[in-house]
Amino acid sequence: MITGDRKPLEEIASMVKGFERVLVLGCGTCVTVCMAGGAREAEEAAIALRLMDKQEGVEREVWHGNVERQCDEEFLRELEDEVAKADVVVSLACGCGVQHMATVFPDKIVYPGLNTTFMGVTEELGVWGERCLGCGDCVLELTGGVCPITRCSKSLLNGPCGGSADGKCEVDKTIPCGWQLIHDRLEAIDQLHRLDEVLPPKDWSKSHSGGPRFRNRDDMKGASDLEEGGQ
């Protein structure tokens, strides 16, 4: 799940200063779950902007909307009429949604209402933990299902740094050492021998360092072959 944090109201207000028709648009997937950019948060942001306008004597129209996924043109087209009425759209989606809104509606000004943080999992109610950077070169089969790129603060591939102590990270003593987690997990599944394997340097060309990435159905050929083989 992609997580995000709502930008301060003052920052959003400064973005939309001078515009007469402002649409605050929520997204119904990831940012709804992390309670940062769903329908409720879009309504709250719109109300807060209207109250601020009232206090400052500004007269304009501010309203809110919501769409299932802002990263999918099919869903965005459902809001075509609403978007057309606005001078500016404040998107409460992740950075992907903001950029896709601007692509689908190239003549419309689209500003971000969130700061996108990371891809993570729900650890407990209202708490999310980072788990994946989308590096494009997954090694989880070698590390017991614990990612060394995200769980190790230094993204080390062959064991902990010298500062790790008592199972805690040198960078922040409240953070579990990623390699301690890997060790414990490998021990639990009887695969400690994995630690004897030296992992080669990371192929960062498969990550963002290789430029923006794209994916099409041909990329799924391997998976399709597996399905056919199992029939």
pLDDT category at 231 given cuts 50, 70, 90 is very low
Return the DSSP state at 21: E
Please check the confidence at residue 168 and state whether its pLDDT lies above 60: yes
Say yes or no: 80 and 151 in one domain: no
Pairwise CA distance, residues 191 & 172, whole Å: 28
Pairwise CA distance, residues 133 & 152, whole Å: 12
pLDDT category at 216 given cuts 50, 70, 90 is low
pLDDT category at 158 given cuts 50, 70, 90 is very high
Say yes or no: 141 and 173 in one domain: yes
Q: pTM (2 decimals)?
A: 0.78
Please check the confidence at residue 149 and state whether its pLDDT lies above 80: yes
The percent of the chain in helix, strand and coil, each rounded to the nearest 5, is 40, 20, 40
Say yes or no: 105 and 161 in one domain: no
Pairwise CA distance, residues 154 & 177, whole Å: 10
160 burial type by CB count under 10 A (0-12 exposed, 13-18 middle, 19+ buried): buried
Say yes or no: 87 and 145 in one domain: no
Say yes or no: 28 and 101 in one domain: yes
Please check the confidence at residue 226 and state whether its pLDDT lies above 50: no
pLDDT category at 16 given cuts 50, 70, 90 is very high
Q: In the chain, how many domains are there? A: 2
Say yes or no: 108 and 188 in one domain: no
Mean pLDDT over the full length of the chain: 89
Residue 224: the pLDDT is: 47
Please check the confidence at residue 145 and state whether its pLDDT lies above 80: yes
Given 88, 118, 148, the domain boundary residue is 118
Q: In what order do the strands lie in the sheet with 109-112?
A: 61-67, 21-27, 88-91, 109-112
pLDDT category at 214 given cuts 50, 70, 90 is low
Please check the confidence at residue 37 and state whether its pLDDT lies above 70: yes
The domain of 149 spans 136-216
In a domain, 64, yes or no: yes
